[in-house]
Amino acid sequence: MNEHNPIAQLVLKIQQAWMEKVAGNPNLHFVRVLIKPEESRVYEGFCKLESTPHGRLPEVFVTQLTDFDDTDTFSGALVRDWLTEYDKSSEIIQKANFEWNSQPYRSGELFKQDELLIAMLDSFHKATSRDLVLALIPRQVSNTLHLKNWITQLLKKGIPTGIKIMLIDHVGNEQFTIAEKQFPGMICNLHVPMDLSDAIRKLAGQGDPNNPEIMLRKCAFEMGNALKDKDVKRLHKWGQQALDCTQRSGNKGLFATAHIMYAGLLFNFKREPQISQLLERGLRVAKQGMLQKDPACLPLVVQFYGYQAAYAQIRRRFSEAIPLYIQQAEFAEQHQLQTAALNAWYQAAELCRRKDTSRYHDVLEKGYQAGMLLSDDEISASVYIYMLRDYYEYAFSNKQTDILNEIDAKMSRIFGAEWKTDVDNIRKNRAPMPLPLEITNLNN
């Protein structure tokens, strides 16, 4: 870890707080880390660092990204993901001469799922001879109350000495508060005050000030501050500087990036006339860069189509937005950018469903076909599950038995017999799909 890096300094601050409040206390079993939403990447970096040999803390960290679907299945899902990652690391484990018998936890037939997880953690903890931290950063959480109940359930059943479960909670929107008097000495709430904005500002200014990448980083930081202050005039000033410094560099990818960054921040002032101009010019620059074999420009072209579609959508020009999402999807497919293609097909299908039903089936079918070669893991981690759910309903209403059977077999294999209910619950509880740069709270 580069300790001169301002972000690395924040990670070091977390490590120091952990040493003071958590490390050396084997009777702690639940560590609730309180953060601001914008600090999540710093904490993910902390967890990933501590899960490597480069970590500084005395505990062994294992970070799991397992989705939380419900209280009854989460422990089993954690065990499966743990064993999968363990198998992938077999070469590293052999070199480290680490011995742990994972076989008793592979079938799970002799245990209920919670007991299976607890037994596996205890066995692994004894094999390492160090305290163990299971750091949970679920990719999706279907119900925060149920996840809190799952933690409470494990604490009641008894987590062995030397094992801690860590979970991130948000300051001001706390979901996982558990009364300490219910589990005396077992719970620790950790909050590390940090000035992330200052760290980013310092990071942006590091390096050669004449380097166009460093200059663009500084402009991006200043534009972000201008947006925070709702100062559109200052945002334009730094946006123009970003364009000027990157144009002089001759780097098409960098110049196109400045356009999309500047336009994306202006989305927050959606009536700004420069948005369309920036997107159109930036798209031309990115296409020129593609012709010059600049590898940064292909994904930028895909993003520009998405930005143009999103801008048309927020201006309620749906007849323009739908073809642009389709164009984005087809272009991404043509260049084997599968995730981007599926996201675009889904956006187009959802917009058709609400605003142009005459095109809905055609777009949904193309999205369905675009994901047919995905693996089960790729399906479960993408918006394709929603397209499969919607296409199943369409096939059902049109009595397309072969398609029904094909989708049902695939989704039952991934989610089980109740897959339709599970997907509906995931969709109901998930955050809405963000527009570019996760733009929200748009001004009128």
Nearest to 223, CA basis, from 202, 203, 213, 237: 237
Tell me how far apart the alpha carbons of residues 208 and 211 are, in angstroms, rounded to a whole number.
5
What value, to the nearest 5°, has the Cα angle with vertex 246 and ends 7 and 202?
20
Contacts of 307 (CB under 8 A, 6+ apart): 260, 263, 264, 279, 436
Biggest alpha carbon–alpha carbon distance for the chain: 67
Predicted confidence at residue 438, as pLDDT, reads 36
Contacts of 74 (CB under 8 A, 6+ apart): 66, 68, 113, 147, 150
Predicted confidence at residue 441, as pLDDT, reads 34
Predicted confidence at residue 96, as pLDDT, reads 67
Cβ atoms 118, 154 nearer than 8 A: yes
Predicted confidence at residue 392, as pLDDT, reads 94
Looking at the DSSP bridge assignments, the partners of residue 141 are 68
Tell me how far apart the alpha carbons of residues 397 and 399 are, in angstroms, rounded to a whole number.
6
Nearest to 114, CA basis, from 69, 65, 157: 157
Nearest to 221, CA basis, from 246, 196, 186: 196
Predicted confidence at residue 200, as pLDDT, reads 61
What value, to the nearest 5°, has the Cα angle with vertex 356 and ends 351 and 358?
130
CB atoms within 10 A of CB 375: 8
pLDDT per residue of the chain (444 residues) written in tens, 0 to 9: 555 577 778 888 899 999 999 998 889 999 999 988 888 888 888 988 898 878 889 999 999 999 998 898 899 999 999 998 888 887 777 776 788 888 888 876 556 889 999 999 999 999 988 899 999 999 888 889 999 999 999 999 999 999 999 999 998 889 999 988 889 999 999 998 886 666 666 555 555 556 788 888 888 888 888 888 889 999 999 999 999 999 999 999 999 999 999 999 999 887 788 999 999 999 999 999 999 999 999 999 999 999 999 999 988 999 999 999 999 999 999 999 998 999 999 999 999 999 999 999 999 999 999 999 888 888 888 899 999 999 999 999 988 999 999 999 999 998 888 899 988 888 876 655 544 443 333 333
| Lateral strand order in the sheet of 132-136 | 60-64, 132-136, 163-170, 30-35, 187-191
Cβ atoms 241, 226 nearer than 8 A: no
Predicted confidence at residue 443, as pLDDT, reads 34
Residue ranges of alpha helices (H) inside 270-337 are: 274-291, 297-314, 318-334
Provide the b/e sequence for 307-317 (b: ≥16 CB within 10 Å).
bbbbbbbeeee
Looking at the DSSP bridge assignments, the partners of residue 189 are 32
Q: Which two tokens stand for residue 274?
A: 């420069």
> Which residues of 352-434 form beta strands (DSSP E)?
none
Predicted confidence at residue 442, as pLDDT, reads 34
Predicted confidence at residue 186, as pLDDT, reads 95
Q: How far apart are the first and last CA of the chain?
A: 44
pTM value > 0.75: no
Q: Tell me which long-range contacts 361-364 makes (C-beta under 8 A, separation of at least 24).
A: 361/394, 363/322, 363/326, 364/390, 364/391, 364/394
